[in-house]
Structure 1
Amino acid sequence: MDTKKYVNLNGVLFPKNSAVFGAENRAFRYGDSLFETIHSNGTEIQFFDQHLDRLIKGMKTIGMIIPERFRNKLKVNITYLINKNKAFAGTRIRLSVFRNDGGLYTPSDNNISYLIETSGLENDRYVLNKKGLKIDIYPECKKSSGIISQFKTGNSLLFIMAGNYKNKRLLDDCLILNERGNPIESISSNLFIVKNGVLMTPSIASGAVSGIMREQIIETALNLNLTVYDDCIITANDLLEADEIFLSNTINGIRWVVAYKERRYFNTTAKLLLEELNQSTFKF
């Protein structure tokens, strides 16, 4: 029985620990790459079209050439890799695209390569964290809003620095500020707050990533007849006045926050939304 794990580079399988890149790889040299982190349950890939829409929009924005039949090729290759790696429970898929070798800062080739990786998850659907997260603001470096801030790029130093800050202070996560000092997201998640029954999230224009789960939560909340504002400019004071804070991404669904500084929070809305997301997302 084949127990090896594999990655898929441009439709070709390689053992997981293979050296598949050279030293001139532009993702390594310049962070010239985009990525999507995708959840699957068996071979059911959650929100595949939404992920590909965002990826292709990002590729067009930074001048990458979209290969022919790109969407179909990726779906076939992701499904094949899930089967090859026997990833039949909850699975994290990382899909990376990067410009081909050549050039210095200025590329000599705008064609792309792609890499697909899989790793197992503890759960095959979304499970709300039993213990609420303790968070704070990461103050040392800010994220600039602009035409690429809504995408997931290979330039992740800001989030790495925030991760180290979090660990040194024994926190569960940190909130990232934009250039105007407004909290816009966490290290790997979109930010939501609930105040007086109203669900609010920072606008994409403020610099927040255009999260796939963010879109699903907004849609789910509207279906539950909740009032939603998805174009907010949130302040640190809004965090202190909120009844709930939660974070969202496509791997965890929703994680609720119990503490920001000395403030403590509930998780009623987070529970309600996660139950609805599980019912609408997964086949039981």
Structure 2
Amino acid sequence: MINFNGNITDNLNSISINNRGLAYGDAVFETLKYSHGNLLFWEDHYFRLMASMRIMRMEIPMNFTMEFLESEIQKILVENELSNKTSRIKLTVFRGEGGLYKPTSKEVGYVIAVSPLEVDFYLMNDAPYEVDLFKDFYVAPSLLSTLKTNNKAINVVGSVYAEENNLQNALLLNTDKKVIEALNGNIFLVKGTTIKTPPLADGCLKGVMRKQIIELIAQLPDYTFEEESISPFELQKADELFITNVITGIQPISKYRKKEFTNSVSKILLQKLQVKIRLSS
């Protein structure tokens, strides 16, 4: 069952082939984690969604408040008997049908889909996790590249590349050949007592979990934080690499090419993340 513009339905035919999200990628989305009655980091997700809609020049309906959208999410969780379980939620907002590249409608619609997750909390994954660079295509850094839109072709092709090469993930480069992110999350690098992540100006996603981790790093007195470009050359000199997203939390990278990494900082940050969630629930 899905929530399509406020209507609970299992009829996917209700989504037209003329839907602009399908036809032109004219849509933005948020992937959220719901755990034990809490919609994690909902305020950050909501304000990113509103900012994304404004950047895409979508008109924001007056009823699109935090309370309204949260109630619509809760509605579909109850319908799918997931209100007491940990779940993945995808909230997609698309522009109304009409026009070709130039839209003719100022209306927007939304669809909310939910699915259960096996892991309740953010846990440390110590299993081998190998990555490499994906260099077939590059991300052009701009404000649009920081958004979660339906234009994710490079992530799709990169995921196929990773599978073909027995990798757990791949790292994306921008047109300046700087490392900007993983296929499904932001990248952080630890070297000595310095923790780095690429700046938004390099084209990386404005991740909700990225924001949480940056705030937690500020609580580590023994480390300094830098929001600076990362070159591929730096990866093999790093002590630790990890990926962040709201579903997994923190995913340590165990191997990049011939270099193997520790995960001590990842463990410290994961513990702080767990505490932060408990205190906010």
Give the whole-Å Cα distance in 2 for the aligned partners of 1:62 and 1:114.
15
Change (3 A) 1:13 1:107: same
TM-superposed CA distance for 1:163, in Å, is 0.4
SS of the aligned residue for 1:247 comes to: strand
Give the whole-Å Cα distance in 2 for the aligned partners of 1:124 and 1:135.
26
What is the number of equivalent residue pairs in this alignment? 278
Give the whole-Å Cα distance in 2 for the aligned partners of 1:146 and 1:126.
31
SS of the aligned residue for 2:154 comes to: helix
Q: How big is each residue's C-alpha offset from its partner over 1:7-64, in whole Å with a ceiling of 9 and x where there is no partner?
A: 101111012x532211111011101110100011133100001001111101001100
* Equivalent in the alignment of 1:147: 143
* Equivalent in the alignment of 1:68: 62
Preserved CA contact (<8 Å) 1:56 1:66: yes
Do structure 1's residue 273 and structure 2's residue 279 form an aligned pair? no
TM-superposed CA distance for 1:80, in Å, is 1.6
SS of the aligned residue for 2:62 comes to: coil
Preserved CA contact (<8 Å) 2:159 2:170: yes
> Structure 2: which amino acid aligns with 1:77?
E
SS of the aligned residue for 2:13 comes to: coil
Q: Which runs of 5+ in 1 are unaligned?
A: 1-5
> Structure 2: which amino acid aligns with 1:13?
I
Preserved CA contact (<8 Å) 2:94 2:108: yes
Give the whole-Å Cα distance in 2 for the aligned partners of 1:89 and 1:230.
37
Preserved CA contact (<8 Å) 1:34 1:151: yes
SS of the aligned residue for 2:250 comes to: strand
Identity, % of aligned positions: 31
Give the whole-Å Cα distance in 1 for the aligned partners of 2:88 and 2:220.
28
TM-score by structure 1 length? 0.95
Give the whole-Å Cα distance in 2 for the aligned partners of 1:18 and 1:178.
36
Give the whole-Å Cα distance in 2 for the aligned partners of 1:184 and 1:226.
25
SS of the aligned residue for 1:245 comes to: strand
Give the whole-Å Cα distance in 2 for the aligned partners of 1:203 and 1:227.
18
> Structure 2: which amino acid aligns with 1:85?
N
> Structure 1: which amino acid aligns with 2:221?
N
Do structure 1's residue 246 and structure 2's residue 239 form an aligned pair? no
Q: How big is each residue's C-alpha offset from its partner over 1:105-164, in whole Å with a ceiling of 9 and x where there is no partner?
A: 000013210111111111111011121310000000011111211111101111000001
Preserved CA contact (<8 Å) 1:50 1:212: yes
Match of 1:29 among 23, 27, 33: 23
Give the whole-Å Cα distance in 1 for the aligned partners of 2:212 and 2:221.
14
Root-mean-square deviation (CA, aligned residues, Å) is: 1.3
Change (3 A) 1:230 1:8: farther
